[in-house]
Amino acid sequence: MNIPRRSFLRSSLLLGSGALLTTLTARAAAAEPPATETDFWGVIRSRRSVRKFRPDPVPDAEIEKMVAAAATAPSSGGQRPWKFLVVRDRARIDAMREACVRRALARYDQGGGKPEGRAEAETGFRNRIGGYFTAPAFIVVLTDNQSRYPSYAHWDGPLAAGYLLLAARALGYGTVFITDSIPDEVTREVLRIPDRYTRVCITPVGVPVEWPAPHADGQAGDFVAYESL
């Protein structure tokens, strides 16, 4: 699973420069996306937000496993109000990106941005969001407003989305829970999502170019309170 980079670094310091080349080779190997992860705590630790992807496709079978895992999440009165819209059509993924850029430029113009700075602003924005759109797949997590208890879906939606992200990590895929960076209106318009559905989030799904460092172990400290706040 997660590559013990620090141990590589430490061994290079201990062994001196003679070992450095070997160590660099080992570190290059360490940058390879880690294999699938079946240890529960390993999945928890190494599930990080990923923002740049390799083009390797995400097969149906893997998508189904992620969605099936998401659909084991608890829901209010067992209503399971979820829908997972999978997008792998490159033209539609690119269309989402371009719609994001158009909205950013509209904001630039409305905010009184100078015409001579517009190209640079566009480049900056494309750089900021470009990594997401290197993903070969996206999943839009939705809840159905016609579910049995629609006013409870605001709990059910994120619960299932969270399980989806973990399952994706277990299978070797990176994700990131996106709200504002790809606005609701963009997904709704480009993917023609009916008003019947409320979007929880959208996430790219793909093999990471590099996994971020795993979470440190056991950081309960400030989050936990015993008996009273």
Residues 77-96 within binding reach of a second copy (CB under 8 A)? 80, 82-89, 92
Give the Cα separation of 167 and 156 in Å (integer): 17
Least distance in angstroms from the C-beta of 108 to a second copy: 22
- Cα angle 146, 151, 154 (rounded to 5 degrees) comes to 100
Burial (0-12, 13-18, 19+ Cβ within 10 Å), 228: exposed
Q: How far is the CB of 82 from a second copy (least distance, A)?
A: 5
Looking at residues 21 to 80 of the shown chain, list those that interact with a second copy (rule: CB under 8 A). 37-45, 47, 49, 60, 63-65, 67-74, 76, 80
Question: For a second copy, which is the closer residue by CB, 12 or 167?
Answer: 167
226 binds a second copy (CB under 8 A): yes
Q: Which of 132, 163, 173, 211 touches a second copy (CB under 8 A)?
A: 163
Rounded CA separation 170/136 (Å): 18
* Cβ 110 to a second copy shortest distance, Å: 22
Closer to a second copy at the Cβ: 31 or 68?
Answer: 68
Contact between 50 and 212 (Cβ < 8 Å): yes
Task: List C-alpha distances in Å: 214 to 31, 47, 73, 85, 117.
Answer: 13, 7, 24, 28, 39
Whether the Cβ atoms of residue 87 and residue 138 lie closer than 8 Å to each other: yes
Tell me the two tokens of residue 215. 């979470």
Kindly write out the interface string for residues 109-148 of this chain, putting x where it contacts a second copy by CB under 8 A and - elsewhere: ---------------------------------x------
Residue 166 vs 186, nearer CB to a second copy: 166
User: 138 φ, ψ to 5°?
Assistant: -130, 150
186 binds a second copy (CB under 8 A): no
* Residue 168 in the binding site for a second copy (CB under 8 A): no
User: How many positions of this chain bind a second copy (CB under 8 A)?
Assistant: 71
